Amino acid sequence: MNTLENIAREVRNTAHYVSDNVANYAGASGGTNPSGEDQIGADVWADSLFYDSLAPIEGVGEYASEERETVTDCGDGYTVAIDPLDGSSNIASNNSVGTIVGVYDAELPASGRELVASIMVLYGPYTTMTVARNDREEVQEYLLRDGHSERWGQFELPSKATVVGLAGISSNRSATFNAFATELEQEMKLRYGGATVADLAQVLEYGGLFGYPRTTPNPDGKLRVHFESAPLAHLVEAAGGGSTDGTQSILDVEPDSLHARTPTFLGNTDLIDRVERTLDE
Protein backbone atom coordinates (compact mmCIF):
# COMPACT_ATOMS: atom_id res chain seq x y z
CA MET A 1 0.00 0.00 0.00
CA ASN A 2 1.43 3.42 -0.86
CA THR A 3 1.62 6.41 1.45
CA LEU A 4 -1.51 8.12 0.09
CA GLU A 5 -3.51 4.92 0.62
CA ASN A 6 -2.17 4.61 4.16
CA ILE A 7 -3.08 8.23 4.88
CA ALA A 8 -6.63 7.72 3.53
CA ARG A 9 -6.99 4.50 5.55
CA GLU A 10 -5.86 6.16 8.81
CA VAL A 11 -8.09 9.20 8.21
CA ARG A 12 -11.00 6.79 7.69
CA ASN A 13 -10.22 4.77 10.86
CA THR A 14 -9.86 7.88 12.98
CA ALA A 15 -13.01 9.41 11.48
CA HIS A 16 -14.99 6.35 12.59
CA TYR A 17 -13.73 6.92 16.12
CA VAL A 18 -14.40 10.67 16.02
CA SER A 19 -17.90 10.07 14.71
CA ASP A 20 -18.66 7.55 17.47
CA ASN A 21 -17.19 9.58 20.33
CA VAL A 22 -17.45 13.30 19.57
CA ALA A 23 -20.54 13.69 21.77
CA ASN A 24 -18.38 12.94 24.84
CA TYR A 25 -16.44 16.14 24.22
CA ALA A 26 -19.22 18.57 23.33
CA GLY A 27 -19.07 21.55 25.66
CA ALA A 28 -15.59 20.81 27.06
CA SER A 29 -13.26 23.80 26.99
CA GLY A 30 -9.78 23.72 25.47
CA GLY A 31 -7.97 27.09 25.42
CA THR A 32 -7.04 29.13 22.34
CA ASN A 33 -5.68 27.99 18.96
CA PRO A 34 -2.73 29.64 17.14
CA SER A 35 -5.19 31.93 15.29
CA GLY A 36 -6.46 33.26 18.66
CA GLU A 37 -9.81 31.46 18.47
CA ASP A 38 -11.40 29.50 21.29
CA GLN A 39 -10.74 25.80 21.03
CA ILE A 40 -13.23 23.44 22.51
CA GLY A 41 -12.14 20.15 24.02
CA ALA A 42 -13.18 18.27 20.89
CA ASP A 43 -10.68 20.25 18.73
CA VAL A 44 -7.76 19.25 20.94
CA TRP A 45 -9.00 15.67 21.28
CA ALA A 46 -9.46 15.23 17.51
CA ASP A 47 -6.06 16.78 16.81
CA SER A 48 -4.30 14.30 19.10
CA LEU A 49 -6.21 11.37 17.56
CA PHE A 50 -5.25 12.36 14.02
CA TYR A 51 -1.66 13.06 15.06
CA ASP A 52 -1.35 9.59 16.63
CA SER A 53 -2.70 7.91 13.49
CA LEU A 54 -1.05 9.99 10.75
CA ALA A 55 2.40 10.95 12.08
CA PRO A 56 3.76 7.36 12.30
CA ILE A 57 2.94 6.54 8.64
CA GLU A 58 6.03 5.84 6.56
CA GLY A 59 6.28 8.56 3.94
CA VAL A 60 4.77 11.27 6.18
CA GLY A 61 7.49 13.81 6.97
CA GLU A 62 5.60 16.58 8.75
CA TYR A 63 2.31 16.95 10.62
CA ALA A 64 0.76 20.42 10.62
CA SER A 65 -2.54 21.21 12.30
CA GLU A 66 -4.79 24.22 12.63
CA GLU A 67 -4.65 23.49 16.36
CA ARG A 68 -0.81 23.62 16.60
CA GLU A 69 1.45 26.65 16.50
CA THR A 70 4.22 24.91 14.56
CA VAL A 71 4.77 21.95 12.26
CA THR A 72 5.82 18.66 13.90
CA ASP A 73 8.63 16.77 12.19
CA CYS A 74 7.93 13.04 11.91
CA GLY A 75 10.32 11.66 9.30
CA ASP A 76 10.79 11.98 5.55
CA GLY A 77 8.05 12.54 3.04
CA TYR A 78 4.77 14.37 2.58
CA THR A 79 3.46 17.13 4.83
CA VAL A 80 0.02 16.34 6.18
CA ALA A 81 -1.94 19.52 7.03
CA ILE A 82 -5.18 19.04 8.91
CA ASP A 83 -8.15 20.87 10.34
CA PRO A 84 -9.11 18.06 12.72
CA LEU A 85 -12.59 19.32 13.57
CA ASP A 86 -13.75 21.99 11.16
CA GLY A 87 -16.74 24.04 12.26
CA SER A 88 -16.48 22.88 15.85
CA SER A 89 -18.70 25.74 17.04
CA ASN A 90 -21.49 23.69 15.43
CA ILE A 91 -21.11 20.98 18.06
CA ALA A 92 -23.01 22.84 20.78
CA SER A 93 -26.08 23.06 18.54
CA ASN A 94 -25.64 19.47 17.31
CA ASN A 95 -25.03 20.45 13.71
CA SER A 96 -22.60 18.92 11.24
CA VAL A 97 -18.82 19.24 11.52
CA GLY A 98 -15.98 17.91 9.40
CA THR A 99 -12.31 17.07 9.03
CA ILE A 100 -10.12 18.48 6.24
CA VAL A 101 -6.79 16.96 5.23
CA GLY A 102 -4.30 18.26 2.67
CA VAL A 103 -1.27 16.19 1.65
CA TYR A 104 1.52 18.45 0.34
CA ASP A 105 4.63 17.28 -1.46
CA ALA A 106 6.52 20.21 0.10
CA GLU A 107 7.35 21.83 3.39
CA LEU A 108 4.97 24.58 4.53
CA PRO A 109 4.35 27.36 3.72
CA ALA A 110 3.44 26.08 0.25
CA SER A 111 0.77 26.82 -2.30
CA GLY A 112 -2.05 24.42 -3.08
CA ARG A 113 -0.23 23.53 -6.32
CA GLU A 114 1.96 21.30 -4.09
CA LEU A 115 -1.04 19.23 -2.96
CA VAL A 116 -1.05 15.62 -4.09
CA ALA A 117 -4.25 14.65 -2.30
CA SER A 118 -7.10 16.18 -0.33
CA ILE A 119 -9.67 14.54 1.90
CA MET A 120 -12.79 15.84 3.59
CA VAL A 121 -14.86 13.96 6.14
CA LEU A 122 -18.40 15.08 6.92
CA TYR A 123 -19.90 14.02 10.26
CA GLY A 124 -23.57 14.49 9.46
CA PRO A 125 -26.56 12.21 10.02
CA TYR A 126 -24.07 9.72 8.57
CA THR A 127 -20.34 10.00 7.98
CA THR A 128 -18.79 10.31 4.53
CA MET A 129 -15.21 10.70 3.35
CA THR A 130 -14.41 12.32 -0.01
CA VAL A 131 -10.95 11.84 -1.51
CA ALA A 132 -9.21 13.58 -4.44
CA ARG A 133 -5.79 12.25 -5.43
CA ASN A 134 -3.53 13.44 -8.24
CA ASP A 135 -2.84 9.81 -9.15
CA ARG A 136 -6.56 9.03 -9.57
CA GLU A 137 -9.02 10.28 -12.17
CA GLU A 138 -12.12 10.47 -9.98
CA VAL A 139 -13.06 12.17 -6.75
CA GLN A 140 -14.32 9.22 -4.73
CA GLU A 141 -16.87 9.36 -1.94
CA TYR A 142 -17.04 6.68 0.76
CA LEU A 143 -19.75 5.95 3.29
CA LEU A 144 -18.30 5.13 6.72
CA ARG A 145 -20.47 2.94 8.89
CA ASP A 146 -20.21 0.00 11.29
CA GLY A 147 -16.41 0.32 11.30
CA HIS A 148 -16.18 -0.16 7.52
CA SER A 149 -16.09 2.06 4.48
CA GLU A 150 -17.87 1.43 1.22
CA ARG A 151 -17.41 3.17 -2.09
CA TRP A 152 -20.43 5.33 -2.57
CA GLY A 153 -20.03 7.25 -5.74
CA GLN A 154 -17.87 9.64 -7.64
CA PHE A 155 -18.17 13.34 -7.26
CA GLU A 156 -18.69 15.66 -10.13
CA LEU A 157 -20.18 19.07 -9.55
CA PRO A 158 -23.69 19.34 -11.06
CA SER A 159 -23.71 21.88 -13.90
CA LYS A 160 -26.87 23.59 -12.61
CA ALA A 161 -26.23 25.75 -9.53
CA THR A 162 -29.02 25.76 -6.96
CA VAL A 163 -27.58 26.66 -3.53
CA VAL A 164 -25.53 29.53 -2.14
CA GLY A 165 -23.89 29.91 1.27
CA LEU A 166 -22.02 33.12 2.07
CA ALA A 167 -20.47 33.77 5.48
CA GLY A 168 -20.10 36.98 7.41
CA ILE A 169 -22.41 39.56 8.94
CA SER A 170 -23.47 41.96 6.19
CA SER A 171 -22.46 45.06 8.17
CA ASN A 172 -18.92 43.60 8.23
CA ARG A 173 -18.83 43.02 4.45
CA SER A 174 -18.26 45.50 1.62
CA ALA A 175 -21.23 47.17 -0.11
CA THR A 176 -20.13 45.59 -3.41
CA PHE A 177 -20.11 42.16 -1.83
CA ASN A 178 -23.51 42.65 -0.20
CA ALA A 179 -25.06 43.71 -3.52
CA PHE A 180 -23.62 40.58 -5.14
CA ALA A 181 -24.88 38.39 -2.27
CA THR A 182 -28.40 39.80 -2.70
CA GLU A 183 -28.26 39.07 -6.41
CA LEU A 184 -27.17 35.47 -5.80
CA GLU A 185 -29.78 34.92 -3.09
CA GLN A 186 -32.46 35.88 -5.59
CA GLU A 187 -31.26 33.14 -7.94
CA MET A 188 -30.45 30.29 -5.57
CA LYS A 189 -31.56 28.81 -2.26
CA LEU A 190 -29.70 30.09 0.77
CA ARG A 191 -27.83 27.28 2.54
CA TYR A 192 -25.35 28.39 5.18
CA GLY A 193 -24.66 26.36 8.31
CA GLY A 194 -21.31 27.66 9.61
CA ALA A 195 -19.12 24.59 9.05
CA THR A 196 -17.18 24.82 5.80
CA VAL A 197 -17.20 21.08 5.08
CA ALA A 198 -20.96 20.84 5.57
CA ASP A 199 -21.61 24.00 3.55
CA LEU A 200 -19.37 22.79 0.76
CA ALA A 201 -21.06 19.36 0.76
CA GLN A 202 -24.29 21.13 -0.22
CA VAL A 203 -22.53 22.74 -3.16
CA LEU A 204 -20.97 19.45 -4.25
CA GLU A 205 -24.36 17.76 -4.12
CA TYR A 206 -26.65 20.44 -5.54
CA GLY A 207 -24.31 22.80 -7.41
CA GLY A 208 -23.75 26.40 -6.35
CA LEU A 209 -21.36 28.60 -4.43
CA PHE A 210 -19.84 28.65 -0.94
CA GLY A 211 -17.92 31.73 0.12
CA TYR A 212 -16.16 33.26 3.09
CA PRO A 213 -15.23 36.82 2.00
CA ARG A 214 -13.09 39.52 3.60
CA THR A 215 -14.89 41.01 6.61
CA THR A 216 -14.04 43.78 9.07
CA PRO A 217 -12.96 41.34 11.81
CA ASN A 218 -11.21 39.09 9.28
CA PRO A 219 -9.73 41.40 6.59
CA ASP A 220 -7.88 38.47 4.94
CA GLY A 221 -10.90 36.18 5.19
CA LYS A 222 -11.34 33.66 8.00
CA LEU A 223 -10.36 30.35 6.45
CA ARG A 224 -6.76 29.17 6.60
CA VAL A 225 -4.98 28.46 3.32
CA HIS A 226 -3.07 25.31 4.31
CA PHE A 227 -5.71 23.65 6.45
CA GLU A 228 -9.03 24.59 4.83
CA SER A 229 -9.05 26.66 1.65
CA ALA A 230 -6.36 24.96 -0.47
CA PRO A 231 -7.31 21.32 0.28
CA LEU A 232 -10.98 22.07 -0.40
CA ALA A 233 -10.09 23.99 -3.58
CA HIS A 234 -8.05 20.98 -4.71
CA LEU A 235 -11.03 18.73 -4.12
CA VAL A 236 -13.59 21.01 -5.80
CA GLU A 237 -11.37 21.64 -8.83
CA ALA A 238 -10.82 17.87 -9.18
CA ALA A 239 -14.62 17.48 -9.15
CA GLY A 240 -15.00 19.88 -12.08
CA GLY A 241 -15.62 23.08 -10.10
CA GLY A 242 -13.57 26.17 -9.44
CA SER A 243 -12.09 28.22 -6.62
CA THR A 244 -10.98 31.80 -6.16
CA ASP A 245 -9.70 34.21 -3.55
CA GLY A 246 -11.36 36.96 -5.60
CA THR A 247 -8.71 37.20 -8.29
CA GLN A 248 -7.04 33.80 -8.78
CA SER A 249 -7.51 30.11 -8.07
CA ILE A 250 -6.98 29.40 -4.40
CA LEU A 251 -4.40 26.84 -5.51
CA ASP A 252 -2.24 29.79 -6.67
CA VAL A 253 -2.39 31.64 -3.34
CA GLU A 254 1.13 31.79 -1.83
CA PRO A 255 0.70 31.76 1.95
CA ASP A 256 3.44 33.61 3.83
CA SER A 257 2.99 31.75 7.10
CA LEU A 258 1.64 28.47 8.46
CA HIS A 259 -1.64 29.96 9.65
CA ALA A 260 -2.19 32.45 6.77
CA ARG A 261 -5.81 33.06 5.76
CA THR A 262 -7.51 33.87 2.48
CA PRO A 263 -10.92 34.94 1.19
CA THR A 264 -12.38 31.67 -0.12
CA PHE A 265 -14.97 30.92 -2.80
CA LEU A 266 -15.68 27.40 -4.01
CA GLY A 267 -18.26 26.16 -6.50
CA ASN A 268 -19.42 26.05 -10.09
CA THR A 269 -16.96 27.68 -12.48
CA ASP A 270 -19.46 30.19 -13.92
CA LEU A 271 -20.15 31.46 -10.39
CA ILE A 272 -16.44 31.62 -9.61
CA ASP A 273 -16.02 33.78 -12.74
CA ARG A 274 -18.80 36.04 -11.49
CA VAL A 275 -17.10 36.37 -8.08
CA GLU A 276 -13.88 37.42 -9.81
CA ARG A 277 -15.64 39.91 -12.10
CA THR A 278 -17.53 41.41 -9.14
CA LEU A 279 -14.66 41.66 -6.67
CA ASP A 280 -12.34 43.06 -9.35
CA GLU A 281 -14.57 46.07 -10.03
Binding residues: 66, 83, 85-89, 192, 222, 228
Residue 42 interacting with ligand FBP (CB under 6 A): no
Tell me which of 88, 99, 229, 243 binds ligand FBP, using CB under 6 A: 88
- State which residue, 88 or 249, has the beta carbon closest to ligand FBP: 88
> CB of 193: closest distance to ligand FBP in angstroms?
8
Residue 86 found at the interface with ligand FBP (CB under 6 A): yes
Residue 61 in contact with ligand FBP, rule: CB under 6 A = no
Q: Is 244 in the site for ligand FBP (CB under 6 A)?
A: no
Measured from the CB atom, the residue of 101 and 167 that comes closer to ligand FBP is: 167
Q: Please answer whether residues 59 and 78 qualify as being in contact, where contact means their C-beta atoms are separated by less than 8 angstroms.
A: yes
Please report how close the Cβ of residue 6 comes to ligand FBP at its closest, in angstroms: 25
Name the residue nearer to ligand FBP (CB basis): 83 or 114.
83
Counted residue by residue, the chain has a size of 281
Helix locations, 80-229, DSSP H: 175-187, 196-206
Compare residues 91 and 131 and give the one whose CB is closer to ligand FBP: 91
Long-range pairs of 4-10 with CB within 8 A, sequence gap ≥ 24: 4/103, 4/116, 4/117, 4/133, 4/135, 6/57, 6/58, 6/59, 7/54, 7/57, 7/60, 7/78, 7/80, 7/101, 7/103, 7/117, 7/119, 8/117, 8/119, 8/129, 8/131, 10/53, 10/54, 10/57
In the complex with ligand FBP, which residue's Cβ is closer, 89 or 278?
A: 89
Using CB under 6 A, pick the residue from 101, 167, 239, 250 that binds ligand FBP: 167
Which segment (72-80, 129-137, 189-197, 240-248) binds ligand FBP by CB under 6 A? 189-197
Q: Strands across the sheet with 60-65, in order? A: 72-73, 60-65, 78-86, 97-104, 115-123, 127-133, 139-145, 148-155
Given candidates 68, 133, 173, 222, which one binds ligand FBP under the rule CB under 6 A?
A: 222
Calpha distance 133→102 (Å, rounded)? 10
Q: Annotated binding residues for Mg(2+), as ranges?
A: 66, 83, 85-86, 228
Dihedral Cα 113, 250, 88, 8, nearest 10 deg: -30
The annotation places the binding site for substrate at 86-89, 192, 222
The site for ligand FBP (CB under 6 A) is made up of 37, 66, 83, 86-89, 167, 194-196, 212, 222
